[in-house]
Structure 1
């Protein structure tokens, strides 16, 4: 697990479990640790950035963790969760921890609605998308967004890549984002990426009519360890949401299952995209 955010999330879950095991309320635990109750609440919700090792050590003592192996494992987890990933260099670009979670994911299932998935975008397509939202007016910042997106895509080329499964709406394929030349290159890039064994792409044709994904884009992330529950990521123009309740995950898996059933099979989808690229060539 290379993701510091994922390690911090696991630590948060474990600290909450240990506190509840000792039958201590947040208020009582905070009083004994000489902390503000809000501090413990933020820690248990993973609403923190760099865990304080001394505070973690005191919490383990209060919660009765006396086994040296267990203490060392949790303290190591706390230290590793303080590390900086490459995305920290783009703090002015990313408003969420999605790249960090992606780096630790075992599988990523995405429905990007009216766009090509960010992990599949070409540089010129991404540039056209960022220009199109008419929010990024600073040229240097726009280029940093593009560069960050290209670096983010490197997880698909590493030695142990996550399985990436994207259901792409036909509407996203027919929009001439950046013009015919840019879109033709983007479509060809999708076909190239789909040839990789860990990448599956399916096209949701317009002919299906109304479908389960019409409420908007979302991403489901699964992680290797049983202690790391899956999550759903949803991005809005002003915020990023992480859904982690089992019933929420279950609901989005049903939605994604319906999308897969309505979409063209993978091989047919690639032929469909390639045909669209050829039409643009003509």
Structure 2
């Protein structure tokens, strides 16, 4: 799996195997064996290759090296067809015991139905991505939902619940039904930030991962990519506390969801 990732990174840089061989002071044969998974991978060789391939983010480097040197078992999110920044995020997601998330634009990935995930993926990109890329993104959302073991705590901005993606009301109503059912799960907490709340943060979507024994990690979804930002953790921790303070309490969530679903259903 890591060998395949290394080959993919090399090809993205349009580099030949002889350039990679020079970086590790080895032979083309050595690079070929590494990329086919036929030889043990050494930390220094990996560090040199990742530098050559432009992978400078410490979290991205470590998530690859930790598998290669046997510090953790590989998972599906380590496959080369998963963008490296998402591999890092989903590793944190799987290792967490608590995931706190706020998205003012769409429903959180971990609460989306398959059809909503597809519509959300298309809505985030212009022009629309290729069908294969869209379906791969949807497949990964569903995989993440199946793999989740952490408690999930989501704050949803109320306008998101009223706004069908691409005007597909029938799909949106099915998503609301699924969300109402999700509120019955003991490991899921959903709060709604009311549309008339005096506090409306101008925030990009963000998620806070709590991994036992480690520092909490923040992921912010920007237009171009997801990033992990430990420096901003304190500020976003305060923002989270403010959000849950002004949002409806979790016990009221099913009532508000049912009201929105009922009102929208009347317009079918």
Task: State whether residues 191 and 274 of structure 1, in contact with CA within 8 Å, keep that contact through their aligned partners in structure 2.
Answer: yes
Q: Give the deviation of 1:47 after TM superposition.
A: 4.4
Counterparts of 1:119 and 1:94, CA distance in 2: 19
Q: Give the deviation of 1:91 after TM superposition.
A: 2.4
Counterpart among 263, 266, 278 of residue 250 in structure 2: 266
Mapping of 1:106-255 within 5 angstroms? 106-132=97-123, 133-156=125-148, 161-178=149-166, 179-211=168-200, 213-225=201-213, 228-245=214-231, 248-255=232-239
Task: State whether residues 231 and 244 of structure 1, in contact with CA within 8 Å, keep that contact through their aligned partners in structure 2.
Answer: yes
Q: How many residues align?
A: 215
Counterparts of 1:162 and 1:222, CA distance in 2: 9
Q: Aligned pair in 2 of structure 1 residues 92, 243: CA closer, same or farther (>3 Å)?
A: closer
TM-score between both structures, scaled by the size of structure 1:
0.68
1:51 correspondence with 2:65: yes
**Unmatched segments (≥5 aa) in structure 2:** 1-43
Q: Give the deviation of 1:92 after TM superposition.
A: 4.4
Q: Aligned pair in 2 of structure 1 residues 44, 98: CA closer, same or farther (>3 Å)?
A: closer
TM-score between both structures, scaled by the size of structure 2:
0.71
Q: Give the deviation of 1:237 after TM superposition.
A: 1.9
Q: Give the deviation of 1:44 after TM superposition.
A: 9.9
SS at match of 1:203: strand
Deviates more, 1:43-52 or 1:194-203: 43-52
Deviations 1:210-247 (A, max 9, x none): 43x3222111110112xx111110121213221224xx
Counterparts of 2:56 and 2:195, CA distance in 1: 45
Match of 2:4 in 1: none
Mapping of 1:36-47 within 5 angstroms? 45-47=58-60
Task: State whether residues 110 and 220 of structure 1, in contact with CA within 8 Å, keep that contact through their aligned partners in structure 2.
Answer: yes
Task: State whether residues 220 and 227 of structure 2, in contact with CA within 8 Å, keep that contact through their aligned partners in structure 1.
Answer: yes
SS at match of 1:241: strand
Match of 1:87 in 2: 77
**Unmatched segments (≥5 aa) in structure 1:** 1-32, 53-75
1:278 correspondence with 2:257: no
Deviations 1:126-147 (A, max 9, x none): 1111222334431122111111
Q: Aligned pair in 2 of structure 1 residues 232, 276: CA closer, same or farther (>3 Å)?
A: same
Task: State whether residues 219 and 226 of structure 2, in contact with CA within 8 Å, keep that contact through their aligned partners in structure 1.
Answer: yes
Match of 2:93 in 1: 102
Task: State whether residues 108 and 165 of structure 1, in contact with CA within 8 Å, keep that contact through their aligned partners in structure 2.
Answer: yes
Counterparts of 2:97 and 2:265, CA distance in 1: 37
